[in-house]
Structure 1
């Protein structure tokens, strides 16, 4: 094991390239630093320092140890920071679950602001759908959820706020039979055609489905992107977020790539 003093010595030697300058950098007596260097060689049973020249040279084994020691110093610094943060109420890591409906692009400015805090807290962001979002929070698979739909179920110590509302529109492909219907489209007409929905990711319940008429056949897909692709290819009909209908239209027309 390397002590913090050993790591500091190796880092000083790496930065200065000289035992004498390392002594000045550390503010210790030359005999103390020389003794520590010999102790390291004895501990590893390897020649770490080439003392045949005026300027201290590291052997290949010494280069390896110094480089690894620099990495360890960074790890120790990060660990020290995180321990202090956790002791002061910070999370050791932050696991965020978003509804699949929420595009990742909307999170990028928030992540940038979080990074500016230089907290060192690692982030993990995953996605669920509908009830699966609340389920992740209740089961401890999330510290924070963003974009969950509807009011939350009973969860102890839960605090929540409404972020906004999303407008939905009923959409069909120009190639779908409903696009050729004359006059207003009724619920009965919609029920005759397959609905495309994003599958609820709940692991405990059957989940929920929105915008489906009674008796209507359903194709459940894994994501909103898959739902848009399915509807653009006339595999079914359904409701889409208004702000994404333009992307879907361009995809149908072949004038843009949907990502």
Structure 2
């Protein structure tokens, strides 16, 4: 067996014969002489040291090894075709990868909608997505790990980043209905708030490490995952700020209740959302698409699909 001498053309002929059902039909599809197709298959079989087709009948039938290797051949050709598309795109100035850092408070439905539209526009571009909180989003843009960031929980924008203002997210302070704070009528006094455990997102960056934002209790539990914070709030483990779009169903079903303090009005507060990127980063077609798509967002609700009511 001499697999090093295998050619992509041999694999394409192999797949075409299997798909067409005969050497003659494959020759027509490939615009070649039947003898050329037969020779390519015979050479491939010789190099592999096994028969791919049983030729004893009216039409060639895949052998057991042929059936097994057909899937491998398709996979090799798929990878090669993908490489060609990506190389051609890069030669035209299109990025091969889009690296994004997104704040945990950014609505997931909106993010999924943007990613679906991006994939339709740039099917050959891979996406690397990191969901972070506080300074970690900006830090990834500054150090070059992300080409673009969507900031929410960081209250200030680093001065060395360009920014685009996006629609805001509404934040509400919530507790479980059996939590002591849920029993307070009206605005909760600052002294009482200080005595209750606050669930807070932790900062995994050096940019804002050891800084607290919107922390109003002496006792805090910190976590890096918004889903964990959400679960702990519903379990009555403390109080905390959450995006309204995340807890809307819980509030409607009574699994969580909103609270009012000097820092948290009963209707919630608007959290500014910004897109940030480095001014010296060359904006190829993929990054330009994201900058335009984000700048044109009228809201952070997922856009309805074309043709839907």
> Does the pair score TM above 0.5?
yes
1:187 is the counterpart of 2:193? no
Q: Distance in 2 between matches of 1:85 and 1:198?
A: 40
Show structure 1 runs of 4+ deviating over 6 A.
none
1:238 is the counterpart of 2:240? yes
Residue 239 of structure 1 aligns to a residue in which SS? strand
Q: 2:168 maps to what in 1?
A: 165
Greater RCO between the two (CA within 8 Å, min separation 6)?
Answer: 2
Q: CA deviation at 1:207?
A: 4.6
Q: CA deviation at 1:78?
A: 1.4
State which drifts further: 49-58 or 10-19.
Answer: 49-58
Residue 96 of structure 1 aligns to a residue in which SS? strand
Which one of 191, 198, 201 corresponds to residue 198 of structure 1?
A: 201
Q: 1:13 maps to what in 2?
A: 17
The two structures have a TM-score, normalised by structure 1, of: 0.82
State which drifts further: 62-71 or 191-200.
Answer: 62-71
Q: CA deviation at 1:65?
A: 3.0
Which one of 95, 106, 121 corresponds to residue 117 of structure 1?
A: 121
Q: Distance in 1 between matches of 2:72 and 2:182?
A: 65
Residues 130, 208 of structure 1: 8 Å contact kept: no
Q: Deviations over 1:146-205 (max 9, x none)?
A: 2443343255xx443111223333334443334445664333332233322111222565
Question: How many pairs were matched up?
Answer: 251
Q: 2:105 maps to what in 1?
A: 101
Q: Distance in 2 between matches of 1:224 and 1:65?
A: 46
Q: Deviations over 1:63-112 (max 9, x none)?
A: 33333222222222111111111222222122222111224222121122
Q: Which runs of 5+ in 2 are unaligned?
A: 257-309
Residues 135, 206 of structure 2: 8 Å contact kept: no
Q: Distance in 2 between matches of 1:109 and 1:116?
A: 11
Residue 163 of structure 1 aligns to a residue in which SS? strand
Residues 96, 125 of structure 1: 8 Å contact kept: yes
State which drifts further: 233-242 or 70-79.
Answer: 233-242
Q: 1:176 maps to what in 2?
A: 179
Name the structure with the higher strand share. 2
Q: Which runs of 5+ in 1 are unaligned?
A: 255-259
Q: Distance in 2 between matches of 1:181 and 1:57?
A: 78
Which one of 149, 157, 177 corresponds to residue 152 of structure 1?
A: 157
State which drifts further: 200-209 or 64-73.
Answer: 200-209
Residues 130, 207 of structure 1: 8 Å contact kept: no
The two structures have a TM-score, normalised by structure 2, of: 0.70
Residue 98 of structure 1 aligns to a residue in which SS? strand
Q: Distance in 2 between matches of 1:189 and 1:77?
A: 64
Q: Deviations over 1:184-234 (max 9, x none)?
A: 433333223332211122256525322223x72211133333334434444
Compute the RMSD of aligned alpha carbons: 2.8
